Amino acid sequence: MRGTPMAHRDTNAAGLALIKSFESFVGYVYDDLVVGKGGKYPEWTGWKPKGTLTIGYGHTNDAQHPLKIEQGLRISEPEAVDILNEDLDECEDRVSRAVKVPLNDNQFGALVSFDFNTGAIFSASFVKRLNAGDYGAVPNGLMQYVKAKGQTLRGLVRRRQAEVDLWNKPAPVPARTPKPAPKGNVVPQPPVEDEPLTSSGVMQGAGTAAAGGGAMAAKNGTEVVDALTSAEPHVSAGTWIGLAIGVVILAGAAYALWSRAKAAGRVPAWLGG
């Protein structure tokens, strides 16, 4: 049974710029171990190659793009960019297969540059350590690949150091994807203060408190005092809801007191006695 195809990952702009800066654009075929005056590669004219025949941005016959090198071949810079992008596809997929731990964009770009230059992403011992979770093994591991045919080359030292620098550079944090808006007709739930007061739990509590206050006051004088005491924190809160609760409790207590006094014949006639 075949697994799910691996999603292709492209090298970021920083990684691509690093690769292009070290490969440099050369519009004709050259031998990468033959450097002329002023550090410029002479065009290959058919001699037995000392290194690897190359054109454009580091394109060789071993790269993915089908262009094959032959004496006298020339290409433009835009053509070289297209060839490079296709050549990198293979290296990008190789890095994605070789590395089993998460990489940020700069770390990925550094390893693509390394593999494009050396082809050693599957054999490098530091990749095995990386897959074991040792991210710190990568910088020193990269710096081991600075030789060509037994000789340490200054250009390779500079390239490995640039790859290390890119590896160590924090990658920009991707922007968070906003949550999609709800579909269909959605009626928003009102906040508590917007609920109808008749159905509000606060007002229901006030009614309960009033009834309870009246019942306690009607039972005995001590409970009237208790009702007055329970009203104080609601009044002191300073909110209209607190005041309403306090007033209702006090009214219930006052009514209970008046009822007890009337029953005892102590209420003057002008107060309904």
- The counts of H helices and E strands in the chain are 9, 4
Residues 146 and 43 in one domain: yes
Residue position matching structure tokens 């992403």: 121
Residues 33 and 136 in one domain: yes
Q: What is the Cα 164 distance to its own chain's centre? A: 24
Q: What is the CATH number of the domain that holds 104?
A: 1.10.530.40
What b/e readout covers 215-225, taking b as 16+ CB neighbours within 10 angstroms?
Answer: ebbbeeeebbe
**pTM for this predicted structure:** 0.61
What average pLDDT does the chain have? 78
65 in any annotated domain? yes
41 in any annotated domain? yes
User: E-assigned strands of the chain?
Assistant: 26-31, 53-56, 147-148, 151-152
175 in any annotated domain? no
Number of domains in the chain: 2
155 in any annotated domain? yes
Sign of CA dihedral 104, 106, 111, 113: positive
Residues 50 and 151 in one domain: yes
| Full domain range(s) for residue 219 | 198-268
Residues 39 and 149 in one domain: yes
Do residues 64 and 92 touch, judged by C-beta distance below 8 A? no
Residues 156 and 80 in one domain: yes
Tens-digit pLDDT profile for residues 31-86: 998 988 888 999 999 999 999 999 999 999 998 899 999 999 999 999 999 999 99
Residue position matching structure tokens 């054109």: 55
Report, as an integer, the average pLDDT of 86-109: 97
Tens-digit pLDDT profile for residues 158-175: 999 999 999 999 986 555
In whole angstroms, give the CA distance from residue 273 to residue 193. Answer: 42
Residues 44 and 142 in one domain: yes
189 in any annotated domain? no
